[in-house]
Structure 1
Amino acid sequence: MTQYLGRKRIAGTDLEVSPLGFGTVKFGRDQGVKYPEHFTIPDDREMLNLLALAQDLGMNLLDTAPAYGISEERLGQLFARHKGLREQWVICSKVGEEFVTLENGQGESFFDFSEQHIRFSVERSLKRLNTDVIELMLVHSNGDDANIIEQSGCLEVLADLKREGKILATGMSTKTVEGGVLALKHSDVAMVTYNLNEQGEKPVLDYALEHGKGIFIKKAFASGHACLSGHLANENRVLESMKLVFSHPAVSSAIVGTINPAHMQQNVEACLEACRT
């Protein structure tokens, strides 16, 4: 059996998370995603089995969002039916991006960073997830990071909600160096892209380390593409990806969204090896 993942405190907070977080895009959305291979959204039993495996492997960070289709609702339904399940997880959700299904059955995203919508979104996520508090709430950027932060006041709204006790930590899922650094100046955590193919946001990691802020990594495997290219076998690409991510001491956790149990265990084994080296 794979060794158990440990915990790392998110710098500047009281939250402790596993170095791998469980991303749940595939629990609620299969349209407009950028994965290289087709997948089928798991049913409730498969979801529960995946959550149980993730827990057995030591994961305690669960990443979701309104932009992930019906992921929040489905997780909340499982929490309601299985006593004690919610308490096993540190939940990270988001505000700003919405995913809606159109009359033609296709889905698309839109963005709203207004104070009214952010408050509405947080209250809705609390209800969907059947919880009184969400540990981490990030702004889901459309790429215009700095303007969103400076013009919408979104991080100030999240700070107010934190003071109200509805969330415990705040941050932003960013796409630029400027936005990542600005987000860390005004919140607790930045979620940034950092992988074998894309390392342009490394200055955000450096800033976080210097200023005692938290870093989550998204697209550690470039949405699966990093493990399909290059001369290394898939397993080695996973390990090399993990070594890169965890070579930087600012990283609290990398969010990985596999729904394949074998891949999940492989990821954990690679994470453990990377963290040892």
Structure 2
Amino acid sequence: MFYKVILKITLGTVQFGINYGISNTHGVPSDAELKAILSAAEEAGIQQLDTAQAYGNAEERLGQFSEGRFQVITKFPAVATREELENALSYSLSRLNSSSVYGYLAHNAAVLIEKPFLWEVLQKAKEEKTIAKIGFSLYHPEQLEQLLELQCIPDLVQLPYSILDRKFEDSLSILKKIGTEIHVRSVFLQGLYFMDPDRLPEKLQPLRPALMELQAICRGKNISVGDAALNYAVSNPNIDQIVMGVETAGQLQENIRMVSSWKRDAELFSRIEAIEIKDKSLLNPVNW
């Protein structure tokens, strides 16, 4: 029996185009597996797909296999001129086999901070109904402050947020007050939370005590780290969607089970929030 109503899950598609994630052991899914994942997502009631021009051939594969069943959010790379942004949008629409997208975001908000005139291109495309919602993907809270000062008021943002990485907590309420749709990524920190603390790469060894504590707390509650990490984000009322990538339909079904069978445990979350991390820069995969 599959679950029909799933809250807050957007299917991430980076794995559809490139090998991605520190714990990815499956590689890029085959066409048959991709079809199975999309069918499972549709059956579960998932309505949105998150992709990007930078995700290898993910846009093309969605254009081939998604068949208009989902709202698509895609992202543009660093561009220097209005014309380059217009061309990037046309390129993505062509690859997606679509005349419009639900969301179109700067893959890194820094490009809009450096070239705020690009926001006018996005606004024009929105007026022409080529894009329903415009915005940006954030990496640091300071980026949001700068963009709001530049009057780049987003309809939709994506940002990293997870059970140990809560640097955007204050930003969530700011965004919600201005009516922004908030999508969060990296709720499993690219699979880091599932790794054996004794087998962490040398660079990530400073995270070992926190990871051991997180896993011990979850063991004590007889739940998986995945259950805790996913439902921590789901339970945040300021978060609209969790962007979650999978390599197999089975993984997607397991993630859906995590949400559908969860019983809230405030004491669990408060204990996890108390975990101390000395070098928080290691919670950013860019620094791995």
Q: TM-score, normalised by structure 1?
A: 0.79
Report 1:70-81 matches (<5 A): 70-79=57-66
Report if aligned partners of 1:246, 1:275 keep a CA contact under 8 Å in 2. Answer: no
The answer to whether 1:162 aligns with 2:151 is no
* Offset of residue 124 of structure 1: 0.7
The answer to whether 1:23 aligns with 2:12 is yes
Structure 1: which 5+ runs fail to align?
7-17, 80-84, 97-110
- Which residue, out of 36, 39, 52, partners 1:52? 39
Structure-2 change in CA distance of 1:180 and 1:247 (3 Å)? farther
Report if aligned partners of 1:180, 1:192 keep a CA contact under 8 Å in 2. Answer: no
* Offset of residue 242 of structure 1: 2.1
Report if aligned partners of 2:112, 2:147 keep a CA contact under 8 Å in 1. Answer: no
Tell me the equivalent position of 2:281.
none
Q: Could you list the per-position Cα deviations for residues 3-38 of structure 1 after superposition, in whole angstroms to 9, with x for gaps in the alignment?
A: 2234xxxxxxxxxxx5111111111112xx442233
Report if aligned partners of 1:171, 1:190 keep a CA contact under 8 Å in 2. Answer: yes
Structure 2: which 5+ runs fail to align?
196-210, 266-288
Give, as a single letter, the amino acid of the residue that structure 1 aligns with 2:245.
G
Report if aligned partners of 2:11, 2:41 keep a CA contact under 8 Å in 1. Answer: yes
- Which residue, out of 258, 264, 267, partners 2:255? 267
Kindly name which structure, 1 or 2, has the bigger radius of gyration based on alpha carbons: 2
Tell me the equivalent position of 2:232.
244
Q: TM-score, normalised by structure 2?
A: 0.76
Give, as a single letter, the amino acid of the residue that structure 2 aligns with 1:29.
I
Structure-2 change in CA distance of 1:147 and 1:162 (3 Å)? closer
Q: Could you list the per-position Cα deviations for residues 223-244 of structure 1 after superposition, in whole angstroms to 9, with x for gaps in the alignment?
A: 1112334323696212211222
2: CA distance between counterparts of 1:250 and 1:182?
21
Structure-2 change in CA distance of 1:215 and 1:275 (3 Å)? farther
1: CA distance between counterparts of 2:117 and 2:5?
37
Identical residues among aligned pairs (%): 25
Q: Could you list the per-position Cα deviations for residues 227-270 of structure 1 after superposition, in whole angstroms to 9, with x for gaps in the alignment?
A: 33432369621221122212321211001101222221121122
The answer to whether 1:95 aligns with 2:76 is yes
The alignment covers a number of residue pairs equal to 241
- Which residue, out of 37, 47, 54, partners 2:24? 37
Give, as a single letter, the amino acid of the residue that structure 2 aligns with 1:271.
V
2: CA distance between counterparts of 1:204 and 1:227?
27
Give, as a single letter, the amino acid of the residue that structure 2 aligns with 1:253.
Q
Report if aligned partners of 2:17, 2:55 keep a CA contact under 8 Å in 1. Answer: yes
* Offset of residue 153 of structure 1: 2.6
The answer to whether 1:172 aligns with 2:136 is yes
Instruction: Judging by fraction of residues, say which structure has more helix.
Output: 2
Report if aligned partners of 2:183, 2:240 keep a CA contact under 8 Å in 1. Answer: yes
* Offset of residue 2 of structure 1: 3.7
Report if aligned partners of 2:53, 2:75 keep a CA contact under 8 Å in 1. Answer: yes
Instruction: Judging by fraction of residues, say which structure has more strand.
Output: 1
Structure-2 change in CA distance of 1:273 and 1:251 (3 Å)? farther
